């Protein structure tokens, strides 16, 4: 397991997540500046394996299930010729990043798709950007509730997903699944993990592409919540599988309008 001490030492002698210890760390060179291709190929790049790593969260906030992990449990063993590995992530600041960083080192994936729950949403949301802010309205599962703290001290203000987010959304819709590009991953552990994974990859010079997808509440979660939106887990699985297929098929994102007016 990748411990906090291992993260602190790092392969290059720096800790990409020094915020919690108050250390100053120079900004890493963004991954895209290291490679002229906006979305590097998925096979055989810098020691990466033919692996897609999909992560999902444990339940939080009083819920007994989390559909992001239920989707992980139902994914096929392979998608688009790539082996699928899954990782269950604790809903805890910093610890979530450590667990996924450990899975990245272990599986050496070419593609990383992290999933999380966004209760209240009606569509699967493929996130465009993660910001360097933790601002928790509720405590995480370990009781931590950071307010206006950086995910990584000295890190850039934001990271954009290195997945082809618009191509993924378009493919999900063709599969009959309501999907949209989302421009806010929030400020809780989901945003924390998306930012942290992209920061980790940049700091280590890894070529893996990564991003985050929010899923709605499952039908089982809203049985006693009148008017609350939900989606069947089977539909989410179909959407995520279609999105991964699109990410593997598109070296560059498609140019279509997916902006909002609000």
Q: Confirm whether 149 is a catalytic residue.
A: no
**How many degrees, rounded to 5, is the angle at CA 90 between CA 93 and CA 194?**
55
Measure the CA–CA gap between 81 and 6, rounded to whole angstroms.
33
Measure the CA–CA gap between 194 and 133, rounded to whole angstroms.
11
Name the catalytic one among 70, 85, 92, 127: 127
Measure the CA–CA gap between 173 and 247, rounded to whole angstroms.
14
Name the catalytic one among 72, 87, 91, 190: 190
Q: Is 174 exposed, middle or buried (0-12, 13-18, 19+ CB in 10 A)?
A: exposed
Q: Confirm whether 8 is a catalytic residue.
A: no
Name the catalytic one among 87, 214, 241, 245: 214
Measure the CA–CA gap between 249 and 38, rounded to whole angstroms.
14
Roughly what angle, to the nearest 10 degrees, separates helices 189-204 and 95-107? 40
Q: Confirm whether 87 is a catalytic residue.
A: no
Catalytic residue set: 127, 190, 214
């Amino acid at each position: 397991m990748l411990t906090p001490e291992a993260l602190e030492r790092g392969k290059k002698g720096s800790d990409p997540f020094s915020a919690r210890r108050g250390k100053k760390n120079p900004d890493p060179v963004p991954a895209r500046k290291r490679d002229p291709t906006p979305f590097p190929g998925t096979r055989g790049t810098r020691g990466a394996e033919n692996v897609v790593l999909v992560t999902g969260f444990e339940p939080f906030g009083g819920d007994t299930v989390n559909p992001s992990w239920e989707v992980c449990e139902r994914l096929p063993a392979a998608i688009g010729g790539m082996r699928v590995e899954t990782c269950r992530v604790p809903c805890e600041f910093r610890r979530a990043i450590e667990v996924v960083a450990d899975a990245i080192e272990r599986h050496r994936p070419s593609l990383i798709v992290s999933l999380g729950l966004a209760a209240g949403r009606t569509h699967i949301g493929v996130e465009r950007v993660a910001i360097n802010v933790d601002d928790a309205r509720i405590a995480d599962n370990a009781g931590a509730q950071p307010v206006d703290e950086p995910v990584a001290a000295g890190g850039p203000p934001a990271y954009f997903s290195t997945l082809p987010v618009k191509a993924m959304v378009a493919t999900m819709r063709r599969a009959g699944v309501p999907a949209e590009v989302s421009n806010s991953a929030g400020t809780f552990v989901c945003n924390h993990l998306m930012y942290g994974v992209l920061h980790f990859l940049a700091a280590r010079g890894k070529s893996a592409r990564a991003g985050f997808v929010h899923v709605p509440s499952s039908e089982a979660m809203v049985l006693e919540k009148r008017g609350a939106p939900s989606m069947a887990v089977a539909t989410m699985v179909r959407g995520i599988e279609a999105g991964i297929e699109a990410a593997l098929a598109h070296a560059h994102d498609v140019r279509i309008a997916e902006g909002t007016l609000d």
